[in-house]
Structure 1
């Protein structure tokens, strides 16, 4: 009889994830019974019908129709069936709305993003427009523009699929990504409104009903301070485009179900969100939200990759036994699980701090810590997501490299996570700026120490010392390092602090699990994460000559 390898299968994405269930038992406590039936339902949907539909639509991609049959410019993007279903699911289950309804008080962000975490790996990156929609709602609320809030917020946070809007975030131009100071889009007054003219190089919410865009009002000074944040709706009441032309859809390494476009704004009618300057500051709440989503999506992608790899290890026999019983393979999976658990807890700590701040429940120290934790969570989990996806694919051998299995998508889609919403280096510099703010470094240190202080289990002592040592090394480095060396080491500093906080959170969670008879899994994960390394500042700092030589920027001998 011929041999055919069984493909990996998924179990209920909520019930099969003990870390998620443990964390929600802690974070939601008395309100979890209300939330759990929906999470179980979505977990079954994600692992069952949606996962099968995702596989069936493996070859489908969005398609741009710039003109109708009679030559009229329509710029319609045809979405995949799963994306159309994702839009309805997102509305009905409140993947944006839950954060603003606040049924769980300060823990509402945790509840909202738990729903996202369970569903997103089966929704072909629909989290992207949802994150920007959530960020737009937060930005409009924080800006205090009553007319725009009244107009847009009920739609952005609606649970009615026919009424809910998504929003774009149109910042990036040909002049650069995170450096928006060279923005070329101009805004010209037209009565009480404005008209936008320019090109947006990346738009990942091309089909959104509205967008927030940076533009420079006529006569405004150069640089980022001369930019204003504008609100625009992408189509007029009759459905015609509001001066928004779709030049083309991007050909990307991954996230290929997501219609990312180059746009021309050809007199798009828009309104200022908050004055005619300081638009970068006005959009900051958007970035806090989208970076938190990015972290949670990174953790969700790691869990999906590992769930498939673990199931395959039980089904795949080699050299006389299932892979799951091979010590080296089991060791590999254990290492990936430790990284995944640390990333999950860091992402959801960022979500918890955001939710508490939004509801007025955060302490002064928590509000300060949030400023550093958000970029730390995004950059740390983004790098982990790529590494875990790569290793998980290797667990499948050649099958992990074959498109028909659907597995390569896990790695391609993960690769965007360190790039979206600020690259690792951009966010590392943001961490430096945050830590320079009054009280922020102290608040972050207190956050790490508080979680370490929860532990009493003696076998956690080496992990506690690893996290504490990394924190103290980072604090000493900050105090002693300046000039170019400070910028050159920003990534190592940020990853050290991010991993130290992950380890502290995992140690605290391990103690909670032990205290409640939930087993030693989290303890083992904490010990393993500590062994992987936390302190990236331990090595000798490279000098400027070494940096120039290795980076190929030395004045002499660069090509040798």
Structure 2
């Protein structure tokens, strides 16, 4: 006879069935965005990845969520020699093999489908990411490194590194790191202290990198200040570093410690000391922050796609659980209040997916040489807007998803809290929301970029011809038009007013385009499938509010006082 704890009711956990078959939003988007012949060719690989994401990859990823399987630093060997080896669990290496073999990076560089190759690649990444134990992070930096080396055109480095960075063979494939953050600078990389000294055609780097993701990578791109260069970002240069030599010895660097983080615990993140690390200069010996921009273009896009895929995973698990969970004399999925919560999660997911993949489309067109000048302008502004908008949505969505499980969402070994822990990094790395808002201001330039962006919102909205969707599209265009007016007014009010409203401006631009894209997708679903679900999604998203702008400068003095905890005068009666 069983004991008390072995009998009675046991709740079934949430389960994934098939991440491709069950993701209607991704299927419908790709059916609209890809030519029919390309769509037919890429779907089998996506179906395979969707199945893996719900089965083997998910199982391996869950084992990596166990603290016993987190990365460990072994600084010395048995005889006292410094080795600084970072040990990872076998599941991490299995996940890596799947990524390389299925071309999660390679697909974007093989260019089998021309301008559509990036869509194929990022659809693979989207399906792969939530079950990857954050192996998507080194893949993002690998992708970014390959693009950066190709952009700068150093044939020696391209021939040596790019075939490895884009390989499908796990035995030869490399991953890349990105070593930018230092103690004085953080997001202000212009304060970088690492010094570069020329040694013949090569360089030696000396300094400390305070936060380096994926320290197990084979190479990295990093910033350092060549001796004699001036201060700030213009005085920096970009360098290519191989982490170990042919014998496996570290390249004159030490792993000081692994970081203890809120999330992304599955991935080794380290503090490094560079002690004369041998490096190759990439590009000119100055303007390093500008030269590394191609890396950020790609990694920020990965961040946005990761955000959309994380929202999808939270929704998928919460929806399945709601069907299994009996509460208040019925299934949770049948309770109107819980239905409203799941509907909200769906809206956030589909809005993020549309924005992220529109940026992917434009990147693919740009790399294929078919983007118009207007599309290139849109892409420059869209990248920071997309990253910051989807990053905030991902955290809010993960929090709601956990709450949908009640107490079970707070228990670590359900593998649910990892959704929120890992989502929280998305508004932080590759530029915080405020840093990216300042990047949005820089991207506005003389105004042509903003005009191109508003035209992009208008173009997407024009596809919505049915009455309810045309209403959504008008709200989107009105918000984008107001953003353009606001910028002109804020510039007249002065730089402090512009900066004070930069976050609201950026989020308004993001939400306006999300609403227009949702309306365009919903019109397609109506026309092709006779399905009105997309209409409801677009309407609900628009009803949340698109225009977040205030009068330029309004509230700036109040915010300054509240931030500093200073007294404010009593309001007039």
Deviation (angstroms), 1:57: 3.7
- Answer whether contact 1:249 1:261 (CA < 8 A) is retained: yes
Deviation (angstroms), 1:461: 3.4
Please state whether the residue corresponding to 1:334 is helix, strand or coil.
Answer: helix
Per-residue CA shift, 1:99-153, capped at 9, x if unaligned? 1111111111111010010111001111111101100111111111111111111
Deviation (angstroms), 1:11: 1.5
Per-residue CA shift, 1:44-90, capped at 9, x if unaligned? 11101221232234312000111111111111111122211122111
User: Is 1:443 the equivalent of 2:464?
Assistant: no
User: Is 1:460 the equivalent of 2:460?
Assistant: no
Distance 2:63 2:134 in 1: 16
User: Is 1:7 the equivalent of 2:19?
Assistant: no
Distance 1:385 1:283 in 2: 26
User: Is 1:214 the equivalent of 2:215?
Assistant: no
- Answer whether contact 1:28 1:111 (CA < 8 A) is retained: no
TM-score (norm 2): 0.95
User: Is 1:505 the equivalent of 2:514?
Assistant: no
2:353 maps to 344
Deviation (angstroms), 1:369: 0.3
1:86 aligned to which of 95, 112, 115: 95
2:130 maps to 121
Deviation (angstroms), 1:169: 0.8
Deviation (angstroms), 1:532: 1.1
Distance 1:54 1:205 in 2: 16
- 1:153–1:57 distance in 2 versus 1, CA, 3 Å: closer
Which segments of 5 or more consecutive residues in structure 2 lack a partner in the other structure? 1-6
Aligned pair count reads 557
Distance 2:547 2:423 in 1: 24
Distance 2:473 2:269 in 1: 44
Please state whether the residue corresponding to 1:281 is helix, strand or coil.
Answer: helix
1:543 aligned to which of 555, 570, 573: 555
Distance 2:468 2:205 in 1: 61
Please state whether the residue corresponding to 2:529 is helix, strand or coil.
Answer: coil
Distance 1:124 1:511 in 2: 36
Please state whether the residue corresponding to 1:321 is helix, strand or coil.
Answer: coil
Please state whether the residue corresponding to 1:83 is helix, strand or coil.
Answer: helix
Distance 1:207 1:518 in 2: 50
1:45 maps to 52
1:428 aligned to which of 437, 447, 453: 437
Equivalent positions of 1:91-170 (< 5 A) are 91-170=100-179
- Answer whether contact 1:80 1:257 (CA < 8 A) is retained: no
- Answer whether contact 2:500 2:556 (CA < 8 A) is retained: no
Distance 1:236 1:395 in 2: 49
1:72 aligned to which of 66, 69, 81: 81
Please state whether the residue corresponding to 2:279 is helix, strand or coil.
Answer: strand
Please state whether the residue corresponding to 2:73 is helix, strand or coil.
Answer: strand
Deviation (angstroms), 1:27: 2.2
CA RMSD in angstroms comes to 1.4
Distance 1:500 1:79 in 2: 43
- 1:405–1:371 distance in 2 versus 1, CA, 3 Å: same
Please state whether the residue corresponding to 1:268 is helix, strand or coil.
Answer: strand
User: Is 1:26 the equivalent of 2:22?
Assistant: no
Equivalent positions of 1:461-476 (< 5 A) are 461-476=470-485
Distance 1:181 1:210 in 2: 22
2:42 aligned to which of 35, 38, 45: 35
1:493 maps to 505
Distance 1:55 1:231 in 2: 34
Please state whether the residue corresponding to 1:526 is helix, strand or coil.
Answer: helix
- Answer whether contact 2:501 2:550 (CA < 8 A) is retained: no
Distance 1:177 1:215 in 2: 14
Per-residue CA shift, 1:538-560, capped at 9, x if unaligned? 57853332012111264899xxx
Distance 1:539 1:340 in 2: 30
1:257 maps to 266
Distance 1:186 1:260 in 2: 22
Which segments of 5 or more consecutive residues in structure 1 lack a partner in the other structure? none
1:519 maps to 531
Please state whether the residue corresponding to 2:221 is helix, strand or coil.
Answer: strand
- Answer whether contact 2:175 2:219 (CA < 8 A) is retained: yes
TM-score (norm 1): 0.97
- 1:124–1:110 distance in 2 versus 1, CA, 3 Å: same
- Answer whether contact 2:238 2:283 (CA < 8 A) is retained: yes
Distance 2:512 2:89 in 1: 41
- Answer whether contact 1:139 1:285 (CA < 8 A) is retained: yes
- Answer whether contact 2:264 2:422 (CA < 8 A) is retained: yes
Please state whether the residue corresponding to 2:358 is helix, strand or coil.
Answer: helix
